[in-house]
A = this chain, B = another copy of it.
Amino acid sequence: MAKDTDDTIAGRISRELADRIILGAIEPGARLRQDHVAKEFGTSHVPVREAFRRLEAQGLAVSEPRRGVRVAAFDLREVREVAEMRAALEVLALRHAAPHLTAAILDAAEEATRAGDTARDVRSWEEANRAFHRLILAPCAMPRLLASIDDLHAASARFLFATWHAEWEARTDHDHRAILASLRQGQLDAAAATLARHVQWIGKRPVKTPSGKTRETFAIVG
């Protein structure tokens, strides 16, 4: 839904804030104060409020009338929800994209997979992963579907960064390779099944809480 070619101030603010929220630079539950944001961006509060509405629609912020807007919180339930929605919608997109996939596209997707495997931090891994999914899905040419998937990817990335914001160990993405192999052989059902399982794989990771206890955090890793 978010147009990248939106040169309005409201558009710039919403993109910048979305980035920060996804990267975890602003914590879940933190208040977004319109006058502070306005001052930071050197604007008035009017475009800031419009940016807030867009973030709300993307699920990155929640607004309570007369009580301001906060960065959306999330829990394991929502991580699962987003993963299942991605599975359903990405499979749909893949089925429509498949007839239009070319060897060049599949090669580019394989290159993206390699870039992900050698990524040294979460951020570049996420970028490569997103590129892979976009490459094989975009040929479906269904704008509304692709926009929804983009929003879900943003949510996924947020969960991912929240969990692995510091360390990251390189790992070979066998799922991506299996999907590409199936697509090259025209085995659409197999590719779709692998994709569905892939995006629902939820990584677990122990994390030390401020109080010293150890709990597990979760994120979609695919």
CB distance from A52 to the nearest CB of B (A): 8
Known: A49-B46, A89-B85, A144-B78. A56 touches B6 (CB 8 A): no
CB distance from A88 to the nearest CB of B (A): 4
**Which of B11, B57, B91 is in CB contact (< 8 Å) with A54?**
B57
**Which of B1, B58, B65, B88 is in CB contact (< 8 Å) with A11?**
B65
Interface flag for A214 (CB, 8 Å):
no
Please tell me if the beta carbons of B82 and A92 are within 8 angstroms of each other in the complex. Answer: no
Q: How far is the CA of A142 from the CA of B77 in the complex (A)?
A: 8
**Closest chain B residue to A45, Cβ basis:** B46
CB distance from A183 to the nearest CB of B (A): 20
Report chain B residues within 8 Å CB of A50.
49-50, 53
Please tell me if the beta carbons of A88 and B92 are within 8 angstroms of each other in the complex. Answer: yes
Report chain B residues within 8 Å CB of A6.
65
**Closest chain B residue to A59, Cβ basis:** B144
**Closest chain B residue to A148, Cβ basis:** B148
CB distance from A54 to the nearest CB of B (A): 6
Q: How far is the CA of A165 from the CA of B76 in the complex (A)?
A: 44
Interface centre among A6, A57, A66, A89 (most CB of B within 10 A): A57
Q: How far is the CA of A58 from the CA of B56 in the complex (A)?
A: 12
Residues of chain A at the chain B interface (Cβ within 8 Å): 1, 6-8, 10-11, 46, 49-50, 53-54, 56-59, 65-66, 78, 81-82, 84-85, 88-89, 91-92, 96, 142-145, 148
